């Protein structure tokens, strides 16, 4: 039998990247799923008692029950898996494990109340909802904050550094490097804010969502109010109208939100790669590192490329989760069960990508000389300003005149000044037009950066 370690693990998340995402395993591993099942089952039993549906638990009995969850360890998980080999049902195995733990205690009389009225997905969906909620709060947002903080720093540092912008890959009009970082920062802020505001829903309403068994056994209990209180005690939002499964629309909203976040960072990765290839950005050289096995001069943008690849994997999984989980046959089929176990994988690849982007951003240095050279090599970009100012004065065919003069041509600043001198316009207007340069034609870029911070 092969011993599994980081070198022979099948998944790179469990191997090459295991250190990067070790915190995430506390929310999406098989162990954490089993532990959460026991947590939810026990809290359900305790609330049944508090509401007088089953006998009142003493304080020490509540403590005994909660200890089963709080002290749950790998040995306990192995015991559950051993039961599962017999039951061939993971949820029933967790139920039997709890029953075994209260055997020969004062709680033994309540063993038949464990899981009473519930279906597997009352527990499982709540477990996955908790895993998403708690992993976002404890791990995911923290990793995104690292990216955000670097962008804040770069935005402020380079808000006044004029740079040639390109649209369709061609020289456009000037911008500032800081303002371009601010675009990504602003986009990220909006999506992170949306994700933080999203409520995560679950259900607790039985085999096909109608509380059939609950009402049959305890017809005088307000089960809708009960399930509301139970679900909200975990910081989740109840969905009362479901089939056997909660329909996952809410999960899909979260995953689509993360896809948008990932696409913003992917866009950033590609732009950084492009700026590095244009020599606008340089990468700090670390002693001992190798860029190529054969070309000793290479310093490759590997962190941005690594992020790009991992974001592609994450988004593929997230997209499949959105498309698959929100479609189920009639009141349920089992095809969601295996798919939903991959939520952690999708988040894991996302986090590896964010960390790579951070490494890349922390290694860049701005080549101001190259940026200035490229900017001044394209003085034709100020023709937009000239034609717009002329139009504002009523100068006839302003745009057409500038188009005939500049389109597809290599111009110098002297050529542009000669063109201005040839125009039949007041001298003071010529002075105004000649004062425009590629370096000062940045509009409100600096102000926009300040608005975004």
Catalytic residue numbers, as ranges: 168, 292
Nearest residue to 270 (alpha-carbon basis) of 353, 193, 348, 192: 353
Residue 337 class from Cβ within 10 Å (0-12 exposed, 13-18 middle, 19+ buried)?
middle
| Cα–Cα dist 15/36, whole Å | 25
In sequence order, what are the residues at sequence separation of 6 or more whose Cβ sits closer than 8 angstroms to the Cβ of residue 86?
93
| Cα–Cα dist 356/362, whole Å | 10
| Cα–Cα dist 131/154, whole Å | 33
Collapsing DSSP to helix, strand or coil, 77 comes out as helix
Taking the chain, what is the end-to-end CA distance rounded to the nearest angstrom? 56
Question: Is the CB of residue 300 less than 8 Å from the CB of residue 291?
Answer: yes
Half-sphere exposure of 41 (CA within 13 A, CB side): 32
Q: What DSSP state is assigned to residue 298?
A: -
Task: Give residue 332's region: left, alpha or beta (phi > 0; psi -120 to 50).
Answer: left
Sign of the torsion angle spanned by Cα atoms 261, 266, 267, 269:
positive
């Amino acid at each position: 039998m092969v011993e599994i370690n980081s070198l022979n693990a099948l998944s790179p998340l469990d191997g090459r990247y295991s250190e990067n995402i070790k915190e995430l395993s506390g929310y999406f591993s098989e162990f954490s799923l089993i532990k959460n099942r026991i947590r939810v089952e026990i809290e359900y039993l305790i609330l049944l008692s508090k509401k007088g549906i089953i006998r009142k638990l003493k304080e020490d009995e509540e403590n005994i029950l909660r200890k089963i969850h709080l002290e749950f360890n790998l040995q306990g998980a192995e015991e559950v898996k051993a039961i599962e080999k017999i039951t061939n049902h993971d949820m029933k195995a967790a139920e039997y494990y709890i029953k075994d733990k209260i055997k020969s205690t004062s709680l033994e009389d309540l063993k038949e109340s464990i899981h009473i009225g519930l279906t597997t997905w009352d527990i499982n969906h709540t477990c996955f909802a908790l895993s998403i909620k708690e992993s976002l709060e404890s791990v995911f947002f923290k990793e995104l904050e690292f990216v955000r903080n670097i962008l804040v720093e770069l935005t402020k540092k380079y808000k006044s550094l004029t740079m040639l912008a390109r649209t369709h890959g061609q020289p456009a009009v000037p911008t500032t490097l800081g303002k371009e970082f601010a675009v990504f920062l602003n986009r990220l802020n909006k999506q992170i804010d949306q994700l933080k505001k999203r409520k995560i829903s679950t259900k607790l309403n039985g085999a096909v969502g109608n509380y059939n068994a609950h009402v049959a056994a305890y017809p005088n209990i307000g089960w809708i109010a009960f399930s509301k209180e139970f679900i909200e005690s975990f910081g989740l939002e109840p969905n009362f109208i479901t089939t056997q499964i909660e329909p996952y629309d809410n999960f899909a909203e979260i995953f689509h939100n993360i896809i948008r976040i990932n696409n913003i960072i992917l866009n950033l990765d590609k732009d950084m790669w492009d700026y590095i290839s244009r020599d606008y950005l340089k990468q700090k050289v670390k002693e001992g590192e190798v860029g190529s096995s054969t070309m000793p001069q290479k310093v490759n943008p590997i962190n941005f490329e690594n992020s790009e690849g991992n974001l592609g994997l994450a988004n593929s999984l997230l997209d499949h989760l959105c498309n698959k989980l929100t479609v189920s046959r009639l009141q349920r089929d089992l095809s969601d069960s295996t798919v939903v176990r991959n939520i952690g994988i999708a988040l894991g690849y996302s986090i590896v990508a964010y960390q790579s982007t951070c490494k890349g951003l922390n290694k860049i240095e701005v080549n101001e000389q190259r940026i200035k050279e490229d900017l001044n090599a394209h003085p034709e970009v100020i023709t937009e300003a000239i034609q717009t100012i002329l139009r504002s004065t009523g100068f006839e065919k302003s745009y057409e005149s500038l188009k005939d003069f500049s389109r597809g041509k290599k111009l110098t600043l002297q050529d542009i000044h000669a063109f201005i001198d040839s125009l039949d316009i007041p001298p003071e207007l010529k002075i105004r037009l000649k004062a425009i340069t590629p370096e000062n034609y940045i509009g409100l870029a600096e102000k926009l950066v300040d608005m975004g911070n």
